[in-house]
Amino acid sequence: MALARSFADRQDPSLHVGIILDGNGRWARARGLPRKAGHRRGAEVVREVLKGCSSRGIRYLTIYAFSSENWKRPQGEVADLMGLLRLYLRREVADLRGNGVRIAFIGDRSRLSREINALITEAEESTRHNATLTLTVAVNYGGRQEIVDAVRRIAEQVRDGDLDADEVSEETIQRHLQTRDLPDLDLVIRTSGEQRLSNFLLWQSAYTELVFVPTLWPDFTLDHLDEAIGEFQRRERRYGGARS
């Protein structure tokens, strides 16, 4: 646990880790199982990793659960994913609340069912005062669309005379993002060996350290988490400056 303690003891108390959960379908296919079996196992791993992040002093965890492009998947698989989300919201929120976890959602909720939207609202409201760890779940989310929406709202303010165009800055855009209450990402982990962001938190990842793990998400363990954290700690974050 020395690695976990060293991460928790860092000076910055607001470390933010993002995880792109990739490989559920391949995990199931390799075992001759339906894809939904991989998604179910993946949800169990989310529970384990969430507990591991809490014990390691990570204050912010954002997971990429369902992208805006995932609607292109077969209708049956999308239905299974939505059903799994409903199940998670019904079964896990009480534990999150009891363990001091605040849950929040980002993404376009307009395509989600009325039932899921109601469960999301209830989950956010019932955990909003928790402060041990903030779990942000990206559902029907796309980084480019988030930036477009922010720019559109800013343009409307300029049009209406509520904001001078010369005053628009990076901070202005930041305030209009769905993640306005979160720090930028420090570390993004992607499983399954793929090496791309896939439209995940593009603005917030400007100076993020990226760690790509070959393991499929359903096989991801806390040892893999610690290895990714160790890789993060070994890097020198210069934010465009010279090497020290």
Retrieve residue 122's tokens.
């209830």
Among 108, 168, 182, smallest CA distance to 144 is for: 108
- With both helix axes pointing from N to C terminus, report the angle between 222-234 and 35-55 in degrees, rounded to the nearest 10: 60
Beta bridge partners of 18: 62, 188
* 162 catalytically annotated: no
Given the residues 9, 12, 22, 166, the one annotated as active site: 22
Given the residues 70, 99, 130, 199, the one annotated as active site: 70
Query: What are the φ/ψ torsions at residue 204 (nearest 5 degrees)?
Result: -75, -10
Are β-strands 133-141 and 101-106 bridged in parallel, bridged antiparallel, or unpaired?
parallel
Edge-first strand order for the sheet with 209-212 is 101-106, 133-141, 60-67, 16-20, 187-190, 209-212
Query: Alpha-carbon distance 110 to 117, whole Å?
Result: 9
Query: Alpha-carbon distance 79 to 111, whole Å?
Result: 12
DSSP letter for each residue of 177-228: STTTTSPPPSEEEE-TT--S-TTSSTGGGTT-EEEE--S-GGG--HHHHHHH
* 184 catalytically annotated: no
Active site amino acids: 22, 70
